[in-house]
Chain A
Amino acid sequence: MSWTGKVLRVNLTEGTCKAEPLNMEWAQQYLGQRGLATKYLVEETDPKVDPLSPDNKMIMTTGPLTGTMASTGGRYSVVTKSPLTNCIACSNSGGFIGAEIKAAGWDMIIYEGKSPTPVYLYLENEKAELRSADHLWGKSVWDTHEILHKDNQDPELKIACVGRSAEKGNLYSAIVNDMHRAAGRSGVGTVMASKNLKALACRGTRGVGNFKDPMRFMQATEQGKKVLADNAVTGQGLPTYGTQVLMNVINEMGAMPTRNMREVQFEGAHKISGEAMHEPRDSDGQPNLSTNGACFGCTIACGRISTIDPQHFTVKDRPEYQKASGGLEYEAAWALGSNTGVDDIDALTYAQFLCNEDGMDPITLGATISAAMELYETGKLTKEDTGGLELRFGSAEALVKLTELTAIGEGFGLEMGLGSKRLCEKYGDPDLSMNVKGQEFPAYDPRAIQGMALAYATSNRGACHLRGYTVSSEVLGIPEKTDPLTTDGKAELVKAFQDATAAVDSAGLCVFTTFAWGMDDIAPQIDAACEGDWTTEKLLEVGERIWNMERDYNLRAGMTAADDTLPKRLRKDAAKVGPAEGRVADLDVMLPKYYELRGWTPAGELTPETRSRLGL
């Protein structure tokens, strides 16, 4: 039945690890991963809990297809309450550890309480024990990987851990697995560190099986792989250029957030684009991109493995940073690049390396640096505040120095760890923080892509592109092209994307498959693997149920409809160039229709009918 049927409950206060059966009734309603773990969190914690208190819980969770032969079936998620947003957090990662947890025999690991001293969880199939992490505390993600491999004399041990930023309380710390994949957003790493939990080190050798219909599962996954291979996006575009192919697309259409979202086009975009990553550099003739990389079971392989110019000021005479490692994805390249006005691809790659090395969300980091630069240029921040740093837009040196300080939580880096909302509030200009519900924007200006205005404002984890990626339709024409500048039909589009994505995120699959797969391609794979009747209709109903459950959690945590909004800059300051010239984000036109479609009251709350229909 693809689920292992087992949950590992780790009580960090007591130092105990206990197995318990998975709630199979919930599995039928919430599928797995994002949905099922959120159900556990909702049932077991008070939504008003302080995210960094021992009473908050953190769940590492797989989906039913994690660890199987389904393409991209290696995903895992971390579900908790976010210290950045005080809303639900669910951060999804690839790499290999998700499949390893599953192969060790576990659907999810629930961490509760707080250890009195630093520990890590060692998990080898059914053997689970908390071990001292005194020697790991204060170490980077990369050093922690190396030490744990040596300590356990097992180079195949899969590791997910926090770096120094999380230990210093940085509110957007990530949990990094397999050196450079990350559950990146919303500060899930901060929660992990608050529990004195440094790492999960996992070894699973049991494999994943127990499918409802093994032969049909093999056929369904084979067919799915053929669809991915034959599709021009997943078969050719993503492996060759990665997500970074979007840099020039979004810039040409005037939707590129630039210099803290003051502008919508960046004159240096071509220097930091996917195409630029292929160009040989002068110093050693090598391009930035060394090769592409794949996560467990993935037949797309969009990952970027890069090197930095060995003569670049960031790495000269520092051989440890001259090796190939996880390179720029579009979101990092935008946030650290166009939004700070920096067009130095090596500086951006170095900053990305540091995000991996010490576990930081590059989107929030880049947006916080951008906000700090605007605070500085408008005189709200001074050299006295920054420890002598001059924070000008376009300064690669400032970007690099701030990233280094933030990664280890020293000097002004400690304040950078607050994120842009708290930083801008502290220095007296909250309107300069480009956030929704405390989380910073990703790489699509909603003045030029109107559906994203609604997707951002209503995202359950704050501004995010991965809760409802209408860019796919509005820009890329997948599955059908819609006009990015109109608000007509966008409430329906956003809801459809949000519900479908919630289902995919609960399956153990990567959402990038949906550039080629529809739900009709996904449902047969889940149905062949899992007990129950998993049709497209049921998956969309599960997705809608999950979305509403997350919404309800946020409302009970204290969020209101007033939080479904956008920064003043995006609602009041029109785009100055490009096809969207003269446009603002027309959120107010779309929001009432969206609430109605969702079955919510005008105050954004679930009606009794909606609760009843979805079984909430």
Chain B
Amino acid sequence: MQIRIKLYASLSKLLPEGVKPHEGFLLEIDDDMTPNRLVDTLNIPRPMAHLILRNGTYIKPEHRDSALFEEDDVFAVWPPVAGG
């Protein structure tokens, strides 16, 4: 299946050349791909994959080895960030 990958803040440097963070890119993944395996595939150090959203909803750390994706999902990742 294909899903869209968006990498924000300092993780945006891991995006393919010329890709904007909010646009992201399409990635073909296996049906049994999990969030943590995807983080590894994208070369994101796991402590830096702090905030992971699937279609805007947070994926808890305890679900990151088991949650699965669906076609056209949006997978967005941030390092630890904050503001106010």
A interface vs B, CB < 8 Å? 231-233, 236-238, 240-246, 248-249, 252-254, 269-270, 273-275, 329-331, 465-466, 469, 471-472, 475-478, 481, 483-484, 511-512, 515, 578-579
Chain B interface size, under 10 / 10 to 19 / 20 to 34 / 35 or more: 20 to 34
User: Shortest CB–CB separation between residue A456 and chain B, in angstroms?
Assistant: 14
In addition to A232-B80, A245-B9, 19 A-B residue pairs with Cβ atoms within 8 Å of each other are A232-B50, A233-B80, A237-B10, A237-B82, A241-B9, A244-B83, A245-B81, A246-B82, A248-B8, A252-B76, A253-B56, A254-B56, A273-B22, A275-B21, A329-B83, A476-B81, A476-B82, A477-B51, A483-B58
Distance in Å: Cβ of B48 to nearest Cβ of chain A:
7
B76 → chain A closest CB, angstroms: 5
A330 — which chain B residues lie within 8 A by C-beta? 83-84
Q: List 20 A-B pairs, Cβ < 8 Å.
A: A232-B80, A236-B79, A240-B10, A241-B9, A242-B83, A245-B8, A245-B81, A248-B8, A248-B21, A248-B22, A252-B56, A253-B56, A270-B21, A275-B12, A331-B84, A466-B84, A481-B58, A511-B84, A515-B82, A579-B57
Given contacts A249-B78, A253-B53, A270-B20, contact A237 B84 (CB under 8 A): no
Q: A252 contacts which chain B residues (CB < 8 A)?
A: 6, 53, 56, 74, 76
Flag if A476 contacts B22 (CB, 8 Å). no
- The reply on B66 being an interface residue by CB < 8 A is no
The answer, yes or no, to whether B60 is at the interface (CB within 8 Å) is yes
| Nearest B residue (CB) for A510 | B84
Instruction: Evaluate contact between A253 and B9: CB separation under 8 angstroms.
Output: no
Of B8, B21, B51, chain A has the most CB atoms within 10 Å of the CB of: B8
A472 contact set on B, CB distance < 8 A: 82
For A254, the chain B residues whose CB sits under 8 A away are 56
Which of B26-77 touch A at CB < 8 Å?
A: 47-48, 50-51, 53, 55-58, 60, 74, 76
Given A270-B20, A270-B22, A275-B21, the answer on whether A238 and B82 have CB atoms closer than 8 Å is yes
Residues of B within 8 A of A578 (CB): 56
A465, B84: Cβ atoms closer than 8 Å:
yes
Q: Give Cα A246–Cα B51 distance, bound, in whole angstroms.
A: 12
Cβ distance A489 to chain B, nearest Cβ, rounded Å: 15
Which 10 A-B pairs give the minimum distances between C-beta atoms? A243-B83, A270-B22, A232-B80, A246-B83, A515-B82, A237-B81, A579-B57, A245-B81, A579-B56, A233-B82
Q: Which residues of A contact B20 (CB under 8 A)?
A: 270
* Distance A242 CA – B56 CA, assembled complex (angstroms): 22
Closest chain B residue to A275 by CB distance?
B21
Are B84 and A243 in contact (CB-based, < 8 A)? yes
In the complex formed, the residue of A with least CB distance to B6 is: A252
- A245–B17 Cα gap in the complex (Å)? 21
* CB–CB A237/B21 < 8 A: no
CA distance A271 to B8 in the complex (A): 13
Which B residue's beta carbon lies closest to that of A302?
A: B83
Task: Choose from B8, B51, B76, B82 the contact partner of A275 (Cβ within 8 Å).
Answer: B8
Contacts of A469 in B (CB 8 A): 84
Nearest CB in chain B: distance from A375 CB, A: 29
Which of chain A's residues has its CB closest to B21's CB? A275
Partner of A274, one of B9, B57, B58: B9
In the bound complex, do residue B8 and residue A249 qualify as a contact, i.e. CB atoms below 8 Å apart?
yes
Contacts A237-B82, A238-B82: A579 and B8 contacting too (C-beta < 8 A)?
no
Q: Is the CB of B81 within 8 A of A249?
A: yes
A274 to B84, CA, bound (A): 13
CB nearest neighbor in A for B20:
A270
> Judging by beta carbons under 8 Å apart, are A249 and B51 in contact?
yes
B9 to chain A, nearest CB (A): 5
Residues on B with C-beta less than 8 A from A475 are 51
Query: Across the interface, which residues of B come within 8 angstroms of A483, CB to CB?
Result: 58
Determine the distance from Cα of A181 to Cα of B68 in the docked complex, in whole angstroms: 46
Distance in Å from the Cβ of A453 to the closest Cβ of chain B?
18
Residue of B56, B78, B82 with most partner-chain A CB within 10 A = B82
CB distance from B45 to the nearest CB of A (A): 11
| Residue of chain B at shortest CB distance from A270 | B22
Which residues on the B side are within 8 Å of A466 (C-beta)?
84
